[in-house]
Amino acid sequence: MSTRIIVGLIALPFVLAPIWFGGVWCALLVAVAALAAGYEFYGMMEQGDYHPAPWLGLPWMVAIALAGWWPAMPWLSTILMVGSILTLVYALFQIEKPASTWMSTSVGAIYIGLMLGQGLALRLLPSGLWWLLFGMLVTWVNDIAAYFTGSTLGRHKLWPRLSPKKSWEGTVGGWIGSALIGGLLTLVLPLPIPVVFGAGLGFACGILALFGDLSISMLKRQIGVKDTGTFFPGHGGVLDRLDSLLFVLPFVYQVVLFLHLV
């Protein structure tokens, strides 16, 4: 537990500083996160005998993520088209499991790249800094509240097949924490929403954070690994730390755009 806290405190400035300064610094953070998470994803796929092509998937993933810099431009559709063609053409020349090569390479690039790109696009909105901090803080509080509630009160398993340690008590505790911090953040951040809306949005983010976590857990259980990597001692890999945010940040971005909360 002490290692987990120390590593988290050391990593925090390296994450928050580029987000605070925004612009190219945030784009650089997104690119590095995509490369690290993608490397772990393709490593898992290789262990699972899916034969991905990281040399092709990683640059495609970064390009998809950085397309979030120009969300109003047609770059994303062009990048998706080019990458889809290249991965399929490459798969044609693979004798063993060509379909697995194409699918594992494409799914990783599109999923991680698209979700991180939405996070970048969120930061670049006029009030994007505060919305991005909202999504991240709600997700982190959900994780912390779920952990401590589950550790002390957890009795009923939530989904043993995917995550043996998660309990219903911890999950509900996380959702309550998300709602409370969501409402509180509307009072301390310059966001154009009332407290009740912030609490409801926080609660929804808590639910999505759970499913983001479980989605990567599903892959890990099928392949037979405990963590996606070892980059953060006590925490696992980069993808382990991003799994919930990959669901939450795109959701916050879409809510902000749909309700014109920029």
Residues 12-69 have pLDDT tens digits of: 888 999 999 999 999 999 999 999 999 999 999 999 999 999 999 999 999 999 999 9
**59-68, 71-80, 141-150: range with lowest mean pLDDT:** 71-80
Residues 100-138 have pLDDT tens digits of: 999 999 999 999 999 999 999 999 999 999 999 999 999
Residue among 262, 11, 226, 248 at smallest CA distance from 128: 262
Dihedral of CA atoms 62, 65, 71, 75 in degrees, nearest 10, equals 30
- DSSP string over 125-158: STTHHHHHHHHHHHHHHHHHHHHHHHHHH--SEE
Determine the pLDDT at residue 2.
Answer: 62
Question: Is the model's pLDDT at 71 over the cut of 60?
Answer: yes
Determine the pLDDT at residue 1.
Answer: 55
Report, as an integer, the average pLDDT of 73-78: 90
> pTM for this structure?
0.94
Question: Is the model's pLDDT at 157 over the cut of 80?
Answer: yes
Task: Give the 3-state secondary structure of residue 238.
Answer: helix
Residue among 242, 241, 243, 245 at smallest CA distance from 232: 241
Determine the pLDDT at residue 89.
Answer: 97
